[in-house]
Amino acid sequence: MTRTIARWLLAALLVAAGAGHLTTLRRGFRIAVPGWATEVFRTDKDTIVVVSGVVEIMLGLALALLPHERTRIGLVIAAFFVAVFPGNVHQWRTGASAPGLDTDARRLARLFLQPVLVAWAVWAGRA
């Protein structure tokens, strides 16, 4: 029961965060995109934010709606959290403020939240 609740909460978090990437929090998420990412992906920060938001929504929906694939989806979500970690480090190092991350302490705490999210995704995805 606890794992089911954790899975649904994670799915809701991903869908909500993804929606934020596409709407009201879009500007704040652009702040977290390091300049080198635009060179690597040959696009602009806004496109990276939009694509990552769509991916988050898709991962959240997949976790909720594809029970036979939940272990694999949990691992993909964990990998996604690892992939976006450099953006969190960039935001902390530059001291760039975004909604909810407007102090150095909060930006630093966010870095320590990432391993928790990775573990949550792996654990919640297990059958």
Question: What is the average per-residue pLDDT within 90-112?
Answer: 91
The one-letter code for the residue type at 57 is I
Residue written as token pair 């909810």: 100
Residue written as token pair 């996604």: 80
Rounded-to-integer distance, Cα 36 and Cα 87, Å: 10
Vertex 7: Cα angle to 113 and 12 (nearest 5):
75
**Maximal C-alpha separation, the chain:** 44
pLDDT at residue 108, as a whole number: 95
pLDDT at 127 over 80: no
**How many domains does the structure of the chain reveal?**
1
pLDDT at 1 over 90: no
Which residue range forms the structural domain that includes residue 45? Answer: 2-125
Give the CA dihedral 91, 95, 99, 102, nearest 10 degrees: 140
Q: What is the pLDDT of residues 32-41, one digit of tens each?
A: 899 999 999 9
The one-letter code for the residue type at 99 is P
Between 101 and 121, residue with greater pLDDT: 121
Mean predicted lDDT score pLDDT of the chain: 94
Question: What is the average per-residue pLDDT within 50-72?
Answer: 97
pLDDT at 100 over 90: no
